[in-house]
Amino acid sequence: MVEDVKQGLVKASGASKFNFGGWEAAVGLTERWLARAERVDTLLEGLPTGLAGQERARAQQLFYGVVRWSSRIESALAGLMARPPRTKVRALLTVAGFELLEGGADLTAKVIHHAVEKAKTVCSAKEAGLVNAVARKLALRLAEKPADMATELAHPEWLVARWTQQFGAATTRLLLEWNQQPAPVYARWRIEAPVPEFLAPTKWPGFYEVKAGKWDEVRRLVGESALYVQDPSTRLCIELLAPQPGETILDACAAPGGKSLFIADLMKSGKIVALDEPAAPGKTDIRLVRLKENLSRAPAGVEVALVEADLRKVNTVFYRNLNLPEEYDAVLLDAPCSNTGVMRHRIDVKWRLQDGDFARHAEQQLELLHAAARLVKSGGRLVYSTCSVDGQENEQVVKAFFDSRAGGPFKLEKSVQAYPWKDGHDGAGAFLLRRA
C-alpha cells in the first residue's frame, strides 16, 4: 500500500528521479489530497525514500501549510478560472498560494515566477500560461484580509461558530491562530543520564524541545530508549493517575502506547495491561504496531501485557481466561475524541470533523467510562482523559457518569483542563475519580 502511494506521488508530480524535489513532492501530495481526501499521515508515509532529508522536510512544510490554509486559498481561487483545471494544476496553484501567504508581498514575484517555471515541467507549457495569469490574481486576493474569522484563519464556519459560543470571539481567535502555527517538537527524557545540550529545557519537568538540525541524534536516542517524542500535555492525565511501584494498572485505550510507556517509566515495577481494539480483519493497524514497540521499551521491572479487545464488549471472565487481573489499582481511560486540542499536530482533523461527531464521541466515551469503572478495585483510581477542548467530551461526559447508577461508588477528586492559548502546549482534559 505504501509503495503504491510512493509510485503515485512520483507520477502525480510529473517529475523524474533526477529532478524530483521537495516542491514537486508537495504538489504530488496536494494532488492526492485534493483528489481523494486521503489522510495526511498516510500520504506522508508514502513519500519516496530517495527524497533527501532537507527536501523531505520542505515537502512536509509546504504540504502542511496547504492543508492548514486550504479553505483560505480555495476561497481566493474561486472564480479565477472559467472552468476547473486538472487536479494537478489546482494542486500546483494551491502550493503556490500557500507560498504567497507565507512569504508576503516581498516574495510575490519570486513565488509566481517559480510556480510558472515548475508548471512547464510538472504540467505543460499551455498550463504554465494559465498558472501565470491565475497566480497574479491569486496574490492580490490573498493580500486582502477576509471579512470573517473562519475564512481568514482557515477553519470550518460551523466549528468557529461552535467555539465562539463556548469561548467567546476573542478566545476563539487565539485558538485558531494557535492551530495555524507549525508545532514545536517536544520529547521526554527517560533515563538517568545527562541530557544532551541540543535538547532545550522547557517549563515542564522532564520535557525538552527538539530543535531542527539534530534529527540523526534524536533518532539514535529514541532507538536507544533514552528519548520519547511526546507533547507535554500527555503528563496531565499521568500526573492525576500517579502510578506507584508495584501497582497493577490498566491502560484501557492504550494505542499507540506513549502513555503506557510513561506509566511504566514512573512505576519502575509492577504490571501494566495495555488494551485497545483489534485491527480490522486482514488489516494492519499501525497504532497497534507502535503500541507493541513502546511496550517493549518498558523498564525491566514492569511486566506488560498487550490485549486486543473492545473494552465495552468484554467482562471479567475475559480477563480471567487470559490470566489477567479482574480489578486494578488504577485505570487510565484516554478516550477517543474529536482531537480539537491537538489540531496543530493533526492538521486535517478540522476538515474531517463534523458537527454531529461531538455527540457521537460523547456517547462512546460514556460507554467506555462505564466499562472502565467496573475494573477499578475498592479505593482505586480511574482517570478519564481526552485531547479535546470541548466541554461536551469532557465535563459533560463526567457529569453524565455521576448522574448514572455506576457513578455512585466514585467521587471526583481533581480535574484539569489545558487550553493551548493558555498553557502553551496541546489541549487536554483529565479527571481523577476515586472508588469508595
Active-site annotation holds for 337: no
Closest among 86, 105, 107, 101 to 30, alpha carbons compared: 86
Residue 214 contacts residue 187 (beta carbons within 8 Å) = no
Residue in the structure block whose three cell numbers are 486576493: 141
Catalytic entry in 123, 253, 337, 387: 387
What residues are paired with 274 via a beta bridge? 251, 306
CA distance to 21, 25, 66, 70, 77, per residue, from 127 (Å):
20, 19, 21, 21, 16
Report phi then psi at 352, rounded to 5: -95, -25
Judge whether 127 and 119 are in contact, CB under 8 Å: yes
| Contact yes or no for 134/80 (Cβ under 8 A) | yes
Distance from C-alpha of 274 to C-alpha of 289, rounded to nearest angstrom:
13
**Which residue bears the cell 496536494?**
30
**274 and 322 Cβ atoms separated by less than 8 Å:** no
Q: How far apart (Å, rounded) are the C-alpha atoms in residues 436 and 433?
A: 10
**205 to 188, 232, 242: CA distances (angstroms):** 9, 9, 15
CA distance linking residue 75 with residue 127, whole number of Å = 21
- Dihedral pair phi/psi, residue 246, rounded to 5°: 85, -5
Is the backbone of residue 246 left (phi > 0), alpha (psi -120 to 50) or beta? Answer: left
Report, as residue numbers or ranges, the catalytic residues: 387
